[in-house]
Structure 1
Amino acid sequence: MTTEVKPLVIPIPLGHVNAFLIRGTRPVLVDTGFPGSTPKILSALQKEGYKPWELGLIVITHAHLDHTGSAAALAGATGAPVLVHKAEAEYLSSGAGAPVVPATLTGRVLRMMIGKLAPRPELGVTPVIRIDAPYRLDAYGIDGAVIPTPGHTKGSLSVDLATGECIAGDLITGLFPPRKARLPIFAEDTALARENIRALLDRHPLIIYTGHGGPFSAPETEALLR
């Protein structure tokens, strides 16, 4: 008889972007949405039976405002340390963003619409943990690791869990109809993004959560590499 593994990942929809709560003895938050997302995230934490001060860690998959906007507020509200890739620590500290590099026609159009991205010093938060190698989550009662998966940005991170759940940030996107897995519309290195999508698939995930849209199965994700 096979014992069903209880999912650890709780998606937190925040409009066009997703954050994620990973259940553990001390839960881990992955990404924080735009500025103003703190109440929704704290509500999701409470709904799962956790107090704000029980949050063990805030993981930032990459330093773009739609993922970092509420990091400072949440770190202040919970006392949880913030983790980011070393390559993007200074962006996070200063309230600036990692480069937004169009990789598709849609990306180029959106980049023109976005315009100049000025730093937001009031949103800056100093990351306590800065990594450039896998970071195990055992200390939080979670069997899994945060792993570097550059491509979308130089310091992009993903989370790989023993349950078969994976959080890929913006390495994969599902934002635009039809809602299928796609390569990122913004990427500092598209070839490297493809390599790291393959690396995630080689870990045999059952479900892949993404920063926009999703989630996707491994076969759905495999299709974007063809």
Structure 2
Amino acid sequence: MVKPSTPDAVARRRFVAVAAVLGWAGLSIQLYLILYSRWSLEASLLGGLLSFFSYFTVLTNTLVATVLTCEWTSRESAARRWFLQPWVSSGIAVSIAVVGLAYSLLLRHLWHPEGWQFLADELMHDVMPLLFLVYWWCCVPKGTLRVGHIGRWVIYPLVYFAYSLLRGHELAVYPYPFIDVDKLGYPQVFVNAAGLLAGFVLISLLVIGLDRWLGRRAKVSG
């Protein structure tokens, strides 16, 4: 937890506050756009809500905004203690890094959003990954991560992948083109998923390496 007892700590707390507000702002804008679109088409708003939470980007940004809010506030709770554990925050950092990289490499060229959609897109895919990685670097205690934590972290994307395939099979709607079974077939989808999972593991190893390096440096300087 960031304690505002020094000028540096105050600056960090302000940074966390701004990052948390931007995180929830991006999610709120995106939710409004989806619900407004559904309302305009006289479609189910509940269906729009379910569609909103079918995206890995949205789920991960929600986790990011939750961690930042827990860091910003001081009210103790079991949920707050859980989210602020270094291995939990670090796992979320890996996931949001994957969101930013996957979007830039695989999805950005497929569409060109404008107006409020552009703002929501930038916040969730560019701004929040960068801000949360800065938060992880500056505010999350270092030196506690182990390679074994990767086994816990990969549960999240694996469960999401299984859910997306099941939902896509039932509704014939897939949240991302690289897991669209109807167009690509299961073999190619699993190859794509394996590539993304490999990238997830590589980023996880990088985060663990940085955690150990920063932990050793903190001990030496302390």
Normalised to the residue count of structure 2, the TM-score between the two structures is 0.28
Higher helix share: 2
Query: What TM-score, normalized by structure 1, do the two folds share?
Result: 0.28
Query: Bigger radius of gyration, 1 or 2?
Result: 2
